[in-house]
Amino acid sequence: MKFYPTKLLTITCEILAKKNILDIFTKYSVTGYTSYEVEGRGSRGLRGQGLENEKNIKVEVVISEEKLHDVVEEIARTMFTDFAIMLYVSEIGILRTEKFS
């Protein structure tokens, strides 16, 4: 089994920011992602309890290094001031490189 190094981008943000993020993915032809609801605390206080619209989500995307930078740059530029959002990158190994863009 050989694992090819690639990147995992993890974004934690308010649920109403999800649409914007998926739009950015589409713009850069990032087709795969995984997401789920979480609760969390950050600089904007406790989130994820109460109204549906107040929930937090995590979005995870296996992504090539080149696209990573474009996507992160656009998210940071267009969303960081107005939304509760946090992101980080980690190194992972995958089996087949062709599956992820």
Residues that bind another protein (CB under 8 A): 14, 16-17, 19-20, 49-54, 79, 82-83
Touching ligand AMP, residues 33-92 (CB under 6 A): 33-34, 40-44, 47, 56, 60-62, 84-86
CA distance linking residue 56 with residue 61, whole number of Å = 17
CB of 2 to a copy of itself, least distance (A): 10
Tokens at 101, concatenated = 């863009």
The count of residues interacting with ligand AMP (CB under 6 A) is 18
Q: Are 59 and 38 in contact (CB under 8 A)?
A: no
CB of 59 to a copy of itself, least distance (A): 10
Compute the residue count for the chain. 101
Strand partners, 10: 60, 88
> 24-33 in b/e burial notation, b at 16+ Cβ within 10 A?
bbeeeebeeb
Q: Is 13 or 53 the residue whose CB approaches a copy of itself more closely?
A: 13
Question: Which of 21, 56, 63, 79 is close enough to bind a copy of itself by CB under 8 A?
Answer: 56
CB of 38 to a copy of itself, least distance (A): 4
